[in-house]
Amino acid sequence: MTVFSVWAPEKPVKLRLGDRDFAMEAGEDGWWHVDVPDPDVTDYGFILPDQEKPLPDPRSPWQPDGVHGLSRVYDHSAFAWTDQGWTGRQLPGSVLYELHIGTFTPEGTFDSAIERLDHLVDLGVDLVELLPVNAFNGTYNWGYDGVCWFAPHEAYGGPDGLKRFVDAAHAKGLGVVLDVVYNHFGPSGAYAPMFAPYLSSGSNAWGSSVNLDGPGSEEVRRYIVDSVLMWLRDYHIDGLRLDAVHALHDEGAVHLLEQMAVEVETLSTELRRPLSLIAESDLNDAKLITPREAGGYGLHAQWDDDVHHALHTLLTGERQGYYGDFGSLDCLRTVLEGAFFHAGTWSSFRGRRHGRPVDRQRTAGHRFVTFLQNHDQIGNRAIGDRLTATLSPGLLKVGATLLLTSPFTPMLFMGEEWAASSPWQYFTSHPEPDLAAAVQNGRRKEFAAHGWSEAEVPDPQDPATFERSKLDWSEPGKPGHAEILELYRKLIRLRRSTPGLSDPWLHKVEVWHGDQHVVIRRGPTVVAANLAETPQTVSVRALPRSVLLATSPGVIVERDRLVLPPESAAVVSVR
């Protein structure tokens, strides 16, 4: 017996199964149900009164023919998992690695990504963070246009492919974090709003807002939370990165994020392994990661763009747009000691005060995910250029050292660890001509306003843009790339083996700086960086015991000072 159900308040619904239609019975709260004894076909859809074509299930677990096709029944219990001994990976102390399945390997599938897991194990990361993999229209894009929040994208390998990837990662000791998008539906194939009030009258930067607090919102919230629990329970995912939570408009007494935290904690207790919720937020408000007992939402971590902006501007000299307030060594000191730069302070980009201070004694640094590069900060540049295209090898090494010796949870973007030369550009494969044209024109206009010509901005719809964005796996062993890769390996090992670097407490971080140099003390460990093109003598305000790591040869110890080569960094233990 197979039970088919769908939520469609005040709309009678029929089930289309193969070439037969089945009347559905109304249940409570707008749900419709029908039991079909041992169906000999597994592809199905629902027919609404004003539609002749069967529509895919809003909770479809599998879309083998794309988001406009029929749904397919999927039995989660049929997969033969081998990770029964997996006890999980907690976020504190971990290093994350962000990757996009479609461009991580030439083949762009879950199975081909499995073949590269040994590289990540050797690198030393703990958690692999996948950009969104739920079903979207077209063959490839970044994943943020998803419309089926329960179904992995078929071109990547579908439900079984994702399970094989997670199972293989766990076998190698790697946890898996999945990026999920609940703040909007993509522009093509979003059939759920035809069934029920999934959308509100409001909007955000990507389209109509999801209905979290209006009439019918209780089932919409259930829809989202059930998706959250499904990824963690049925796909054995270890954590979720929640996209742009500032766009989740919810005026209810219990915010959707708090509801998620409560139900994920319950599931974590049931499964007896840690499950992490990581928010991407533009608010600079630690309430998201404050425990519920202290009046917060109880999420485990949040992305911290301010740390990225401080590092990026200092290393590159860029100051345009939202980088305007960043770039000084004072700014770097502020974020390394307190996580946020805008903490109730003036933001010239926003034209107002922004953020609130972090309690350094009560909020651990591991609750902030930080990065030198990520999909947004590369892909949303006009030509998708990485830092490799801008910085010298010396400054790349300085940046890596400052990131991986920070008190935060560091995240790398795929290929960063070997200074990949391939760009990571904005790419789409919308089959609808009007939508494709709108994306192409919108991209051109956006960057024309910043002085870029049309010829310079890659066409998102051109397959070559997608192909250019794939990693070149011949590079890690080549001169220049191999040296950067070895530094990343050493830094991750050093971070794990040095108590001063693994200590997450922000109130123990002390930063001082001079002309083009900065020094960070973390207990018995000091990190010193010279950003100048000439050698510099830097006071570490203590007597060094030993040099634990240097990005360039020739570091000289002189009593309580270090002589650093140009564009270099060193990590030393001190008395």
d(CA 267, CA 261): 10
Q: Is 167 annotated as a binding residue?
A: no
Residue 108: CB partners within 8 Å, gap ≥ 6?
A: 101, 102, 140, 155, 156, 470
Q: Is 450 annotated as a binding residue?
A: no
d(CA 131, CA 414): 11
Q: Is 380 annotated as a binding residue?
A: yes
Q: Is 305 annotated as a binding residue?
A: yes
Q: Report the half-sphere exposure of 526 (CA within 13 A, side-chain side).
A: 25
Q: Is 376 annotated as a binding residue?
A: yes
d(CA 388, CA 393): 8
Is residue 561 packed enough to be buried (19+ CB in 10 Å), middle (13-18) or exposed (0-12)? middle
Q: Is 377 annotated as a binding residue?
A: yes
d(CA 27, CA 181): 29
**3-state DSSP assignment of residue 237:** coil
Amino acid of residue 523: G
For 565, which DSSP code?
P
Q: Is 459 annotated as a binding residue?
A: no
d(CA 369, CA 279): 9
Residue 421, by phi and psi: left (phi above 0), alpha (psi -120 to 50) or beta? alpha
Specify the pairing of strand 2-7 against strand 31-36. Answer: antiparallel
d(CA 381, CA 323): 13
**Annotated catalytic residue within 129, 179, 243, 285:** 243
Amino acid of residue 324: G
CB atoms near residue 395 (< 10 Å): 22
Q: Please, are residues 152 and 159 in contact by the beta-carbon 8 Å criterion? A: yes
Q: Which alpha helices (H) appear in 411-547, and where do they start and end?
A: 433-448, 463-468, 481-497, 499-502
Of 268, 252, 259, whose CA–CA distance to 223 is shortest?
A: 259
Which letter, b or e, does each residue of 149-165 get, where b requires 16 or more Cβ atoms within 10 Å of its Cβ?
bbbbbbbbbbbebbbbb
CB atoms near residue 247 (< 10 Å): 20
d(CA 77, CA 233): 11
417 is an active site residue: no
Q: Is 520 annotated as a binding residue?
A: no
Q: Please, are residues 77 and 486 in contact by the beta-carbon 8 Å criterion? A: no
Q: Is 309 annotated as a binding residue?
A: yes
Residue 297: CB partners within 8 Å, gap ≥ 6?
A: 255, 257, 258, 261, 287, 288, 289, 290
Q: Is 246 annotated as a binding residue?
A: yes
Give residue 136's Cα distance to chain centre: 17
Of 182, 187, 350, whose CA–CA distance to 277 is shortest?
A: 182
**3-state DSSP assignment of residue 342:** coil
d(CA 513, CA 527): 11
Q: Please, are residues 299 and 289 in contact by the beta-carbon 8 Å criterion? A: yes
Q: Is 375 annotated as a binding residue?
A: yes
d(CA 360, CA 65): 51
Task: Please compute Rg for the chain using Cα positions.
Answer: 25
Q: Is 245 annotated as a binding residue?
A: yes
29 is an active site residue: no
Q: Is 76 annotated as a binding residue?
A: no
**3-state DSSP assignment of residue 299:** coil
**3-state DSSP assignment of residue 411:** strand
Q: Which residues are annotated as a binding site for substrate?
A: 241-246, 305-309, 375-380
Q: Which residues are catalytic?
A: 243, 280
Residue list for the binding site: 241-246, 305-309, 375-380
